[in-house]
């Protein structure tokens, strides 16, 4: 029995073969080994052709910890400016996210090497959101790979939504409405809850087949965010995901902003302006929105001192939502765009998580009494019925009241007189 190595490096058993066949097989084997001798893999790793980088994860964690989280740290006093929030709020978010998702817990890999810490993963994800940088930009400082940074970002925003969505992105409750109505009355607009508008977010990596649908007046693919903001820049309503070819009216037709009011689940509101009773709150809007009783618009070409004074006050107060958009984009540069992800769900999670953390910063740095929220009735159960019910009639009546043009005109006239009585002499 003769043994000759084949091209795969194994052992080939050949019995009772003639010499010619053995010589031919031996020559072909030597030629194969000679040709494969020049094909030397330059890089070793779990994936063929991929370079193995010893990033120094432990050293990266120690440097990050001593720079910002130790007591005292190297950059004492710079945390708020570089992380866009206080240190205790960031640590609170990190602890909640780590408890919710075991992915962020530091573990030991298969070869006994200590993995990335939760601070490294969360800081990498947060800096991508805060600075809008590419995912491989944080590798040099935090020592985290590109794929790991992308996965950390996706899981981080999902954890933020799962943990904090019920409290920091919810419709206002009774105490919130009372406080917002008091603020509106002090500004000369009784019954106002805030201002509403839309923002476009550029989508750089929009699929080619969808670019026509997502391209509107911005001449680039965008996704629309509809939001309601109050004077303290708290965002109470966020409706995101419609293509940029739509305008504010099309977005409003699909928005659930008045769903609680139409279904009778909104808290009752009663206020008086210029001797007239009103039972619905309203939002300040720009000129594109329809003439509904829940909207108060400015006067395009005001004539007379009263109307000019009203237009000035309405346009000044309506800038709350514009300021909220600017602060949101300044605090999280990723929503200033253009965004580089491909799927809509990731974009929606990023936008929602940024709005939640934006509200968390406002609560942390301001005086907002939202600690009495009970989330048990935030989403009331829906009862399906095909028979005639009084609730259906109430829904239709409320829906007509929301779109009442006569009430819109009366409310605007009463507000003109009300503002003139308050500040006309000034």
DSSP output for 330-394: HH-GGGGS-B----HHHHHHHHHHHHHHHHHHHHHHS----TT--GGGSSPPPPP--S--HHHHH
What does the block give as tokens for 193? 């809850």
Is residue 80 within 8 A of residue 86, CB to CB? The reply is: yes
**Per-residue confidence in pLDDT tens, the chain, 426 aa:** 444 343 333 333 434 444 555 455 445 555 555 555 555 455 445 566 667 777 888 888 999 999 999 988 999 889 999 999 999 999 999 999 999 999 999 988 777 888 899 999 999 999 999 999 888 888 888 989 889 999 999 999 999 999 999 999 988 888 899 999 999 999 999 999 999 999 999 998 899 999 999 998 888 999 999 999 999 999 999 999 999 999 999 999 999 888 877 776 677 788 888 888 988 899 999 989 999 989 999 998 888 899 999 999 999 999 999 999 999 999 999 999 888 887 889 999 999 999 999 999 999 987 554 433 343 444 444 344 444 445 656 666 776 878 878 888 888 898 988 888 887 666
* pLDDT value at residue 296: 93
Torsion of the alpha carbons at 214, 218, 220 and 225, rounded to the nearest 10: -50
Residue among 315, 346, 320 nearest 201 (CA): 346
Is residue 325 within 8 A of residue 199, CB to CB? The reply is: yes
To the nearest 10 degrees (0 to 180), the angle between helices 118-131 and 87-100 is 120
What does the block give as tokens for 400? 């007509």
DSSP class per residue in 262-303: HTT-SPP--EEETTEEE-S-EEE--TTS---TTEE---SS--
* pLDDT value at residue 1: 43
* pLDDT value at residue 9: 39
Is residue 149 within 8 A of residue 123, CB to CB? The reply is: no
* pLDDT value at residue 4: 37
Residue with tokens 């990498």: 124
Listed by start position, the domains of the chain span 2-30, 57-167, 174-369+387-423
Torsion of the alpha carbons at 146, 152, 153 and 159, rounded to the nearest 10: 170
Residue with tokens 């504010």: 248
Q: Using DSSP bridges, classify how beta strands 295-296 and 271-273 pair: parallel, antiparallel or unpaired.
A: unpaired
CA atoms within 13 A on the CB side of 318: 21
Residue among 215, 243, 201 nearest 338 (CA): 201
Is residue 201 within 8 A of residue 221, CB to CB? The reply is: no
d(CA 116, CA 111): 14
Backbone angles phi, psi at 220, to 5 degrees: -145, 155
What does the block give as tokens for 194? 């805030």
Interval 333-376: pLDDT, tens: 999 988 888 788 999 999 999 999 999 999 998 755 443 334 34
Q: Using DSSP bridges, classify how beta strands 222-229 and 235-243 pair: parallel, antiparallel or unpaired.
A: antiparallel
Residue 130, helix vs strand vs coil: helix
* pLDDT value at residue 19: 52
* pLDDT value at residue 422: 81
CA distances from 319 to 129, 231, 326, 419 (A): 25, 9, 10, 18
Segments of 106-219 assigned E as strands: 192-202
**In DSSP terms, which residues pair with 79 in a beta bridge?**
none
Would you mind telling me the total number of residues written for the chain in this entry?
A: 426
**In DSSP terms, which residues pair with 158 in a beta bridge?**
none
Is residue 119 within 8 A of residue 144, CB to CB? The reply is: no
Count of helix runs (H) and strand runs (E) in the chain: 15, 9
* pLDDT value at residue 408: 86
pTM: 0.81
Residue among 378, 209, 403 nearest 289 (CA): 403
Does the bond joining 319 to the residue before it have cis omega, within 30 degrees of 0? no
């Amino acid at each position: 029995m003769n043994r000759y190595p084949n091209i795969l490096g194994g052992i080939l058993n050949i019995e009772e073969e003639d010499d010619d066949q053995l010589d031919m097989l031996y020559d072909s084997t030597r030629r194969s080994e000679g040709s494969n001798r020049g094909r030397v893999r330059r890089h070793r790793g779990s994936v063929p052709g991929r370079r193995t980088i010893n990033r120094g994860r432990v050293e990266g964690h120690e440097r990050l910890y001593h720079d910002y989280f130790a007591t005292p740290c190297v950059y004492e006093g710079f945390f708020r400016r570089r992380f866009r929030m206080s240190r205790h709020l960031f640590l609170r978010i990190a602890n909640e996210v780590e408890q919710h998702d075991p992915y962020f817990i530091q573990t030991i890999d298969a070869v006994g090497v200590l993995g990335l810490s939760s601070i490294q993963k969360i800081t990498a994800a947060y800096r991508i959101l805060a600075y809008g940088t590419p995912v491989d930009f944080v590798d040099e400082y935090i020592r985290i790979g590109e794929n790991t940074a992308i996965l950390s970002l996706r899981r981080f925003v999902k954890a933020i939504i799962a943990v904090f969505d019920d409290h920091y992105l919810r419709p206002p409750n009774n105490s919130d409405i009372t406080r917002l109505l008091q603020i509106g009355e002090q500004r000369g607009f009784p019954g106002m809850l805030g201002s509403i508008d839309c923002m476009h977010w550029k989508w750089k990596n929009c699929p080619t087949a969808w670019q026509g649908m997502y391209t509107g007046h911005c001449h680039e693919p965008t996704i629309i965010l509809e939001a309601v903001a109050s004077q303290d820049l708290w965002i109470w309503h966020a409706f995101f995901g419609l293509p940029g070819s739509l305008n504010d009216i099309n977005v409003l037709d699909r928005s659930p902003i008045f769903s609680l009011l139409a279904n009778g689940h909104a808290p009752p509101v009663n206020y008086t302006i210029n001797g007239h009773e009103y039972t619905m709150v309203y939002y300040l809007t720009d000129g594109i929105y329809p003439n509904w009783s829940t909207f108060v618009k400015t006067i395009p070409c005001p004539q007379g001192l009263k109307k000019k004074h009203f237009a000035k006050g309405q346009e000044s107060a309506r800038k709350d939502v514009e300021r909220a958009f600017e602060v949101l984009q300044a605090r999280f540069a990723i929503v200033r765009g253009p965004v580089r992800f491909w799927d809509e769900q990731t974009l929606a999670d990023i936008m929602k998580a940024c709005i939640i953390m934006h509200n968390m910063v406002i609560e942390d740095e301001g005086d907002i009494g939202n600690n009495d929220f009970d989330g048990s009735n935030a989403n009331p159960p829906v009862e399906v019925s095909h028979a005639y019910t009084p609730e259906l009639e109430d829904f239709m009546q409320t829906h007509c009241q929301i779109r009442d043009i006569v009430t819109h005109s009366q409310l605007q006239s009463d507000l003109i007189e009300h503002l003139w009585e308050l500040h006309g002499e000034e």
